Chain A
């Protein structure tokens, strides 16, 4: 399909669905109708040209599907009189020009609904990609490497959960807004993370998930420009994604940050991310995404690994750690920053505290970080053991290959003490 048409359709998808929701209220049926309208457009527009009012065209077609569906449902039930109420006047669906605000609220309300805490993360992800992202079920299935029928079931179950939990199509009120927005941002972050993987061969199509997460986060930022955490997440995704070209070798092997070819980092994304986080931080109400973006910015700004301002990263992780209530994964990164600032022993001492904490027991990242710090401390034998232990526990192939390679490098090093 024409790329411009595809982008337009994906952008219009949540707006059209929002209009259907306001008119009909039935999410599952509205979502199916919008998918059909998008498909019709994808077939028809490249052939016959784009209509003058693409949004109106989609709304018209989707509404027609809704009424057709309603008509056949009601016919089955012999209640034809009711159909009259479902007949749609196109102008009723088309918002007045000054109604742009309502349209934006629709897209947001849709996101809040798809990322509702009543759904499991995998359901919320699938539903968000389809209802808000405008991706087809087949595309989502292929990105998550599951059969299309499985993904279709997951989406249909998610819709049923929304119905049975009576999740409303409205913006959350002030009291629960922050918490609900956090759930939305978490889903967007998970989508990004799924795609932020090896860029080699068969994994290539998964990168589209990261682009989609950035696109959706950008849309949310556009709708809520003054929200610090939304801006923080967008900056974090841009600053992380900027390193994608350098993150993997030609065969998909992981390249650690300190060995990456920084000249291949995407400078456009870095500039945008840094500008965004620099404008956001001084406004106050600092949150976890903003801090992570600030940390990513310090990495991205360093001309070489040795020039990294680790003292600043350490300070940022200290704040993040306090704010997260001692989240163990953040504690792990904090230990790395401590080692880079105050020497490996400082980091290893913090890892001992994490051992005692127990929440990361058996997690490969704890072993991987310990291996790295032990190597820094020149305890190569212990480092090798920890690299191997980490390799045996990870659920990621590129990560296992990387960790096993580190162990092999130490085992075969002739200067081993």
Chain B
């Protein structure tokens, strides 16, 4: 079964205390952690896709105007968290998806302290339907 794991990073202090302000060694450790994690997920045969998203400073929300042209809104400075990246994984159980989400959540931050970011876990609708 496939799951999407969405990693939400805290927006508050993103520029003042965010990843760009960490000591280089901490930043390196964080990046290495994510690379190792993806390597492990590929090796375990569970990896489908993973992407990091560009920072929230440029994030826009789009709605169609009456004539169908895009109406852009944002960025939203007041948002508490933003989607920083996602994984799509094909795992044998929900528990396994939760386990990986917990690993992501505990990614090392400043000074190596676990970030404990919220990771939203959603099932991808790929199950075969049953006869009705």
Establish whether residues A150 and B125, one from each chain, have CB atoms under 8 Å apart when the complex forms: no
Establish whether residues B42 and A368, one from each chain, have CB atoms under 8 Å apart when the complex forms: no
Establish whether residues A150 and B47, one from each chain, have CB atoms under 8 Å apart when the complex forms: yes
Q: Which of A5-26 contact B (CB under 8 A)?
A: none
- A146 in complex: contacting residue of B48, B123, B131, B132, CB < 8 Å: B48
Q: A144-B90, A395-B123 known; A150 and B128 CB under 8 Å?
A: no
Q: Is A399 located at the chain interface by the 8 A CB criterion?
A: yes
Establish whether residues A396 and B127, one from each chain, have CB atoms under 8 Å apart when the complex forms: yes
Measured between beta carbons, the chain A residues less than 8 angstroms from B42 are: 149-150, 153
Distance between Cα atoms of A22 and B103 in the complex (Å): 43
Q: Is B130 located at the chain interface by the 8 A CB criterion?
A: yes
Q: A122-B92, A395-B123, A396-B127 known; A256 and B44 CB under 8 Å?
A: no
- B127 in complex: contacting residue of A122, A144, A150, A395, CB < 8 Å: A395
Establish whether residues A257 and B129, one from each chain, have CB atoms under 8 Å apart when the complex forms: no
Establish whether residues B45 and A121, one from each chain, have CB atoms under 8 Å apart when the complex forms: no
A168-199, CB under 8 A of B: which get 1 and which 0?
00000000000000000000000001111110
Closest approach, in angstroms, between the C-beta of B120 and any C-beta of chain A? Answer: 16
Distance between Cα atoms of A396 and B48 in the complex (Å): 18
Q: Is B77 located at the chain interface by the 8 A CB criterion?
A: no
Closest approach, in angstroms, between the C-beta of B98 and any C-beta of chain A? Answer: 16
Q: Is A154 located at the chain interface by the 8 A CB criterion?
A: yes
Distance between Cα atoms of A363 and B127 in the complex (Å): 14
Of all chain B residues, the one with the shortest Cβ separation from A247 is B131
Q: A150-B47, A153-B42, A154-B45 known; A120 and B126 CB under 8 Å?
A: no
Q: Is B43 located at the chain interface by the 8 A CB criterion?
A: yes
Measured between beta carbons, the chain B residues less than 8 angstroms from A380 are: none
Q: Is A233 located at the chain interface by the 8 A CB criterion?
A: no
Establish whether residues B130 and A365, one from each chain, have CB atoms under 8 Å apart when the complex forms: yes
Interface residue tally on B, bucketed by range: 20 to 34
Measured between beta carbons, the chain A residues less than 8 angstroms from B46 are: 150
Distance between Cα atoms of A149 and B123 in the complex (Å): 22
Measured between beta carbons, the chain B residues less than 8 angstroms from A247 are: 131
Distance between Cα atoms of A372 and B49 in the complex (Å): 38
- B128 in complex: contacting residue of A155, A193, A368, A372, CB < 8 Å: A193
Q: A193-B128, A197-B128, A365-B130 known; A395 and B1 CB under 8 Å?
A: yes
Q: Is A270 located at the chain interface by the 8 A CB criterion?
A: no
Of all chain B residues, the one with the shortest Cβ separation from A206 is B128
B contact patch SS? loop
Measured between beta carbons, the chain A residues less than 8 angstroms from B124 are: 395
Establish whether residues B129 and A399, one from each chain, have CB atoms under 8 Å apart when the complex forms: yes
Interface residue tally on A, bucketed by range: 35 or more
Establish whether residues B44 and A153, one from each chain, have CB atoms under 8 Å apart when the complex forms: yes
Establish whether residues A402 and B44, one from each chain, have CB atoms under 8 Å apart when the complex forms: no
Distance between Cα atoms of A365 and B126 in the complex (Å): 16
Establish whether residues A399 and B130, one from each chain, have CB atoms under 8 Å apart when the complex forms: yes
Of all chain A residues, the one with the shortest Cβ separation from B90 is A146
Of all chain B residues, the one with the shortest Cβ separation from A151 is B45
Of all chain A residues, the one with the shortest Cβ separation from B125 is A397
Establish whether residues B132 and A256, one from each chain, have CB atoms under 8 Å apart when the complex forms: yes
Measured between beta carbons, the chain B residues less than 8 angstroms from A368 are: 132
Closest approach, in angstroms, between the C-beta of B93 and any C-beta of chain A? Answer: 9
Establish whether residues A395 and B126, one from each chain, have CB atoms under 8 Å apart when the complex forms: yes
Measured between beta carbons, the chain A residues less than 8 angstroms from B92 are: 120-122
Closest approach, in angstroms, between the C-beta of B1 and any C-beta of chain A? Answer: 7
Q: Is A71 located at the chain interface by the 8 A CB criterion?
A: no
Of all chain B residues, the one with the shortest Cβ separation from A403 is B132
Establish whether residues B129 and A254, one from each chain, have CB atoms under 8 Å apart when the complex forms: yes
Distance between Cα atoms of A204 and B124 in the complex (Å): 19
Give chain A's interface residues, CB within 8 Å of chain B. Answer: 120-123, 126, 144-147, 149-151, 153-155, 157, 193-198, 240, 243, 247, 254, 256-257, 365, 368, 372, 394-400, 402
Q: 10 tightest A-B contacts by CB? A: A154-B45, A395-B127, A256-B132, A399-B129, A153-B45, A197-B128, A396-B129, A396-B127, A397-B125, A398-B129
Known: A254-B129, A399-B127. 19 other contacts (CB 8 A): A122-B92, A145-B2, A145-B48, A146-B47, A147-B48, A147-B49, A153-B42, A157-B45, A194-B128, A195-B128, A197-B129, A240-B131, A365-B130, A395-B125, A395-B126, A396-B125, A396-B129, A399-B130, A399-B132
